[in-house]
Amino acid sequence: MDVIRAPSSSGEASAVDGCDAVGFESRLLRKSETIGTEAHALMERLYPLCRSLTGDGVRETLQLLKEIIPLKIHEVRTGTRAYDWVVPNEWNVRDAYVLDGRGQRVIDFRVSNLHVAGYSAPVDEKMSRTKLLEHLFSEPDHPDWVPYRHFYYKDGWGFCVSHRQLSELKEPEYRVRIDAQLDPGSLTYGELFLPGREPGEILISTHTCHPSLCNDNLSGVVTTAMLAREIADSPKRFGVRFLFVPATLGPIVWLSRNEQIVPHIRGGLVVAGVGDPGPFTYIQSRRGATQIDRAVAHVFKHATSTPAAIRDFAPVGYDQRQYCSPGFDLPMGCLMRTPNGEYPEYHTSADNLQFVTAAALGDSWRLMRLVLEILEENRTFLNLSPKGEPRLGPRGLFAEAQPLGIFWILSFSDGHHNLLDIAERAQMPFWRLREGARRLEECGLITEVNTRVVEQNV
């Protein structure tokens, strides 16, 4: 039992290039600053596009992402059934405006795509001010902000305006035009699968259906894209799948078309609203205490400077609702900063390029990267010298034993504790213990065990 073995799999590269443990953290911190800036620049290009549940704005968004990641773009035809749902008509707007008596555009889609409520039916008529007002949405509490509204799964049309704009509409009659198409077409989503060495995959999903709103959810789109780019070329243990889908219907459509993949999903994240400067919030998976829940809690504890909040699952909020629905019950949680609906800028024109910062995007990316590191590298080892402590001095491990948690790894590598279990008990960062495990594996003191047999946390 206490035979000294030669290093085995330790030569394999991990998802992270290089790996001295302490350096890993500071290198990642530096890299996150660069990436935050790149992510914000990407967001500036995506911002003007008129996204919705379907339509060309989504296609253009995904095409732009294809410049940096090899996304596969899927089109799902109108009328396709997906469980209790049906893919609706596709919606596109060419132009939309309200003209006053002098032919001036007093409401103009070209100024902001938020001005037209999503899925508005085409309109082309003169109408009284009174009738027009029935179709206008404004937010009196924030008179300069334009709200975001839509007519998903119901008939209707509307314009969204600032309350100031609304109060200036004093003429008796207006010319109203929404040059929109609402016809059979398709729902568009993007997918990127990066394969791993071992069976099983990790799912990162983000929604693409909101128009010119930055935090909700260009922040999720750009950080997810940056994460995919970062790890695209490095060897991975488990596959990683990235989905860029419209909210609610997107996951339902994807799940209905990929049921055979569901059993292989080891866990993952819905990423949404990660660009505002607020502290992090994580919504646990329905099951709670799954590996993804513990990984996020671990990263929050060891890698955030401001207090981060963890909330229990609730069947509200973003797309974790679909992935966690009882027919799937996937171990997926939702990473946000300030939760949806809890910041005043939410679903208004104030959720803009200034509201979202490069620093927040970069830091969100860093946390996603650390969570992924845990999901990828949470291995289970067996101490090959389990009776008493082995001597570390002769193996050159004495000096780094403490910072790399080497005694903890030796003590708990009994085949029943994975590295995250040990990191939690030791109250040490996972990535330090991962490096400690690498050293111990190199000198033959531990060996990886078949996690398929022993793991219980996924």
Residues of this chain that interact with its own copies (CB under 8 A) are 1-2, 82-85, 153-154, 248, 251-252, 255-256, 286, 312, 314-316, 321-322, 324-329, 383, 385-391, 393, 407-408, 410-414, 425-426
- What are 190's two structure tokens? 């993007």
CA dist., res. 130 & res. 368, Å (int): 50
Alpha-carbon distances of 327 from 50, 226, 252, 263, rounded to whole Å: 33, 31, 11, 11
Minimum distance from residue 85 beta carbon to its own copies (Å): 6
CA dist., res. 458 & res. 198, Å (int): 15
- Cβ proximity to its own copies: between 140 and 288 the closer is 288
Under a CB-based contact definition with an 8 Å cutoff, are residues 309 and 281 in contact? yes
Minimum distance from residue 293 beta carbon to its own copies (Å): 15
- Cβ proximity to its own copies: between 285 and 364 the closer is 285
Minimum distance from residue 412 beta carbon to its own copies (Å): 7
Burial class (CB in 10 A: 0-12, 13-18, 19+), 287: middle
Of 186, 209, 184, nearest to 113 by C-alpha is 209
Alpha-carbon distances of 23 from 124, 431, 442, rounded to whole Å: 62, 10, 19
Burial class (CB in 10 A: 0-12, 13-18, 19+), 233: exposed
CA dist., res. 143 & res. 161, Å (int): 9
Under a CB-based contact definition with an 8 Å cutoff, are residues 200 and 240 in contact? no
Minimum distance from residue 374 beta carbon to its own copies (Å): 22
322-328: long-range pairs with CB below 8 Å, 24+: 322/248, 322/251, 322/252, 322/255, 323/203, 323/205, 323/251, 323/255, 323/268, 323/270, 324/285, 324/286, 324/287, 326/286, 328/255, 328/262
Minimum distance from residue 425 beta carbon to its own copies (Å): 8
Minimum distance from residue 255 beta carbon to its own copies (Å): 6
- Cβ proximity to its own copies: between 214 and 330 the closer is 330
Minimum distance from residue 264 beta carbon to its own copies (Å): 17
Minimum distance from residue 308 beta carbon to its own copies (Å): 22
Minimum distance from residue 208 beta carbon to its own copies (Å): 18
Cis status, amide bond into 217, omega within 30 of 0: yes
- Cβ proximity to its own copies: between 140 and 153 the closer is 153
- Cβ proximity to its own copies: between 307 and 388 the closer is 388
Residue with tokens 């600032």: 162
- Cβ proximity to its own copies: between 180 and 426 the closer is 426
CA dist., res. 358 & res. 219, Å (int): 10
- Cβ proximity to its own copies: between 74 and 177 the closer is 74
- Cβ proximity to its own copies: between 251 and 278 the closer is 251
b or e along 181-192 (b: 16 or more beta carbons within 10 Å of the residue's beta carbon)?
ebeebbbbbbbb
Minimum distance from residue 260 beta carbon to its own copies (Å): 14
Minimum distance from residue 311 beta carbon to its own copies (Å): 12
CA dist., res. 418 & res. 206, Å (int): 29
- Cβ proximity to its own copies: between 184 and 327 the closer is 327
Cα angle 382-387-393, degrees, rounded to a multiple of 5: 85
- Cβ proximity to its own copies: between 66 and 264 the closer is 264
Of 341, 334, 69, nearest to 220 by C-alpha is 334
- Cβ proximity to its own copies: between 181 and 258 the closer is 258
Q: What are phi and psi of 17, to 5 degrees?
A: -75, 140
